[in-house]
Structure 1
């Protein structure tokens, strides 16, 4: 009975989001030939984004030239070229963020190559490598899939959302990975706990379940963002009905036990099954609503879910990020559900792939 009530609640929530009039207009910013994952920006506002790793792209990360509608490998071709002599290259990147110092931080999940997962920081001001943070097996076990992160330059931490679906993982061991920017010390916290593991809320798009070999794919800790002052981290499993928040200083506090930390987590709001997450300076949360070709927003004033934008070409909206130079939120349409693994071995994705943008309700948070 409880499962039926949950399922009905999810259906009604999706119906409500579908029925709402969008609060903003979706504008096509660009069309490209490969699936776009997550988007970051240089200080000048140029887009730097990951090609979605689900489609095993040859070039992992690119910089986009709006004038010519073309891309170039970022930071260069060498960093996008796997080799056996060293591991100073990008293997498998989805999560990508920029900070106020002009550094683009790229979260390399590895997996495609026999290299250690890492965070690579490239300084766009000097056009040089800033630093590499390696992620050890103690923090990134085989089932890990480090998906997205907060770059907290105020307190000095990377806070990574790990979906827990790597190498056959079923999401039940999803977690956070905390990296100290000064020392490089890396910890795994809240693995398989109530707020990081997925709920039994399958992803259903156009009536079709997102499944592998007939089994629903349930994804853990996924969307993540932090407010403008890095006071709170907001997060939730992709497959789940709740957004949670926790004070950043509690999440990175090594003296807290898992049970003590869990007690400090607040259930913030309801949500649809979502991928990326962003926030504006008034605390409105923007969520890519995978099942409804839309971006939802949880308004700070009432913590209710509303439709922000919607478009028929917004197929599997993935990352959503704010560009401080033009005041727009940018969102990718990755078509992940059209990939071969979900369609009996046939890749049903079609060109072009879209990058949309829209005006947020309030000024967005650029660096988080």
Structure 2
């Protein structure tokens, strides 16, 4: 995959630095950041809120929800995916891989500061090998649409899929598992000449980055290790009458892409995709689907989640340093403090509430 322009479209601005790796970022209605501490580093506090007025952080939604215990499972085990919706609810995707609890989506109402709802995800849709890492909160059609990259306990990317959760009923289904657009390609992640590998074997990661356009008409997605972004009409993806074969026939190959993590979009349809190997964020222009470098910075090591803040008009992106984690470096954590959160102005107004 060749990026059309080596020069960046705009500059990256350091928003803040942290002592722990940041995974995905979302926002409250007043623009405060809520983000996951990246689960690859086994953080004590799973999710935090960053108060822009005081430049301080606190456990989100509170300390109790970030404290594992044996008496019940109303706590967060390990979290990467986190999204907001138009109703002021922060939805937290708990992969539940650190503790013996059921994977779940926890909705916290920031208006009432109270639990909105918990959706438990059954083993039939989220087996042990799953790693449900990111999602779209589609309030138009009433679905959580989750990208499962399939690198959970014993997973190797070959069973990557979508997980669909009906917001009304809670019914959860697994679709497009082990299919051409959810599976990783043989495009290993190589950063500074070093392969992302475990015990000498390249880690190939399936269905990962995901976003929806402003009207929830299309879902855009792709495997982390892969050269293409795909899209499918949302009404088709959530239609329980279609078989995987029928769904596959409705998928469009949309554009090229780098090996990427998070994905976002603006109101003109320009797609923003973190480019893991080049310390940058790429953009796919809606006008011709060409791929360009949006921002680049030496401290943007493993850019992970990218999200739009509807209050200040910036896209935010974390630098998680995942490739420096112990699992990829013979048991030695090579990450260095501080960790960075960057922001930049998108080409057009971004899309909120995905």
TM range (shorter): over 0.9
Q: Say whether 1:38 aligns with 2:27.
A: no
DSSP-derived class of the 1:291 partner: coil
Residue 91 (structure 2) pairs with residue 91 (structure 1): no
Which residue of 175, 188, 193 corresponds with 2:179?
193
Aligned to 1:289: 275
After TM superposition, give the deviation of residue 20 of structure 1 in Å. 1.0
How does 1:61-140 map onto structure 2 within 5 Å?
A: 61-140=47-126
Q: Report the Cα distance in structure 2 between the residues aligned to 1:20 and 1:206, rounded to whole angstroms.
A: 17
Q: How does 1:286-365 map to 2 (within 5 A)?
A: 286-365=272-351
Deviations 1:341-360 (A, max 9, x none): 11111101000000000000
1:223-256 deviation line (CA, Å, top 9, x unaligned):
0000000000000000000000000000000111
For residue 260 of structure 2, the aligned residue among 274, 279, 287 is 274
Cα distance between partner residues in 2 of 1:328 and 1:293: 19
In 2: Cα distance, 1:188 partner to 1:304 partner: 32
Per-residue deviation, 1:66: 2.8
- Post-superposition Cα deviations, 1:62-98, rounded to whole Å, max 9, x if no partner, equal 0012344321000000000000110000001000000
- Within a 5 Å distance, the mapping from 1:189-268 to structure 2 comes to 189-268=175-254
CA distance in 2, matches of 1:56, 1:23: 35
Whether the 8 Å CA contact 1:32–1:69 is kept in 2: the answer is no
Question: For residues 335 and 67 of structure 1, what CA distance do their matches in structure 2 show?
Answer: 27
Computed over aligned residues only, the root mean square deviation of the Cα atoms, in angstroms, reads 0.8
TM-score (norm 2): 0.99
Q: Distance in 1 between matches of 2:303 and 2:52?
A: 20
2:245 is paired with a residue whose SS is helix
Structure 2 residue 160 is the aligned partner of structure 1 residue 174: yes
Structure 1 Cα separation of the partners of residues 25 and 173 of structure 2:
26
Measure the CA separation in 2 of the matches of 1:54 and 1:163. Answer: 14
Asked if the contact 1:197–1:237 (Cα under 8 Å) also holds between the matched residues in 2, the reply is yes
Unaligned stretches of 5+ in structure 2? Answer: none
Matched, 1:160 2:146: yes
Give yes or no for contact 1:227–1:283 (8 Å, CA) kept in 2: yes
- Residues matched between the structures, number: 354
1:142 shift after superposition = 1.2
Partners of 1:157 and 1:47 lie apart in 2 by 24
TM-score, reference length from structure 1: 0.95
